[in-house]
Amino acid sequence: MATSDTISSAVIEVSDRDFQQTVIEQSRRVPVVVDFWAPWCGPCRMIGPVLERLAREANGAWILAKLNVDHNPRTASRYGIQGIPAVKGFRNGQVVSEFVGAVPEPQIRRFVDQLVPSAADTMAAEGQRLEAKGNLAQAETAYRHALRGDANHPAALLGLGRMLFQQDQFDEALATLQRVPMGKPERREAEGWIAKASFRQQAALSGGEVEARRKLAANPDDLDARLALAAAMAAKGSNREALEGYLEVVRRDRGVFRQQARQSMLNLFTLLGDEHELTKEYRPQLAMLLF
């Protein structure tokens, strides 16, 4: 077992005194697996060597920190340790995964694999860094590279969708953003970009605001033109006028135009958010007309 003076090695000992620096702060740079154990614990002696071997095999991809719960009760209490061995994976200062008990080596390997960033994770993070710096072409390349390694990577799909939207490539942006997996944290942001891209796409297909207004001036009953004008307003951020336009279509029609207007209003509510004043104002109006 390694000692605390080999802090850069794959396996280290930690204590109450240095846990914040050695585990929490270090996990912001590289994942840290903490093995809460005690010398008298038979199951601890079963999985301890497995963890140590896997840590050394990882060659620095993650670090194993061993904490003797008998000697360090403060940290054990802080993390609610009631049974040992207890193993927790730290990343970016937080516990992101854990297990308790002497589990088989294949399960330990899966635990570690899920904790350590994949090549796709690394490339998606690089894309986010480049995007934040305004290097959009390089960010797009990084996101596409990540997706070659993992075609369903949520962060890479979301990032690429943003890049395509900013290049007015709305068809590909929509197709990419709609692939962000349901239930992932990135999906909520993706829904907002999907709504934006849909409005831009609809506005472009209909000829834009000027053409829609021309058609409506010639025929106020042209519901297709009303939908087109509402989409053009949503695309440029005139959200109240867009919602009024869609609501008028819902009032006038009982068929396919109503369904299109209803879905567009729901998309705009998603884009604005549940707490936005326009969502609170127009959602009840839509519900009254529908029900």
Do residues 132 and 124 lie in contact, with contact meaning Cβ atoms separated by under 8 Å?
no
* Mean pLDDT within 73-77: 94
Q: Is the pLDDT of residue 179 over 90?
A: yes
* Mean pLDDT within 171-195: 93
Q: What pLDDT digit, counting tens, does each position of 80-138 carry?
A: 999 999 999 998 888 989 999 999 999 999 999 888 888 898 899 999 999 999 999 99
pLDDT at 268: 93
Q: Tell me the two tokens of residue 104.
A: 């088989």
Active site residue 44: yes
- How much is the mean pLDDT over the chain? 91
* Mean pLDDT within 143-166: 96
Q: Which helix (H) or strand (E) holds 273?
A: none
pLDDT at 201: 85
Going by pLDDT thresholds of 50, 70 and 90, the confidence category of residue 1 is very low
pLDDT at 6: 37
pLDDT at 248: 95
% of the chain surpassing 70 pLDDT? 97
pLDDT at 4: 39
* Mean pLDDT within 211-223: 93
List of domains in the chain: 4-115 (3.40.30.10), 119-202 (1.25.40.10), 206-290 (1.25.40.10)
Question: Is the overall model pTM greater than 0.75, yes or no?
Answer: no
Q: Tell me the two tokens of residue 233.
A: 């307003």
Going by pLDDT thresholds of 50, 70 and 90, the confidence category of residue 202 is confident
Q: Which of 23, 44, 158, 242 is catalytic?
A: 44
Going by pLDDT thresholds of 50, 70 and 90, the confidence category of residue 58 is confident
Q: Is the pLDDT of residue 5 over 80?
A: no
How far from each other are the two terminal CA atoms of the chain, in whole angstroms?
69
- Residues 76 and 94: their CA atoms lie apart, in Å, by 15
Active site residue 225: no
Q: Which of 12, 14, 41, 63 is catalytic?
A: 41
Q: What angle do CA 59, 63, 66 make, to 5 degrees?
A: 135
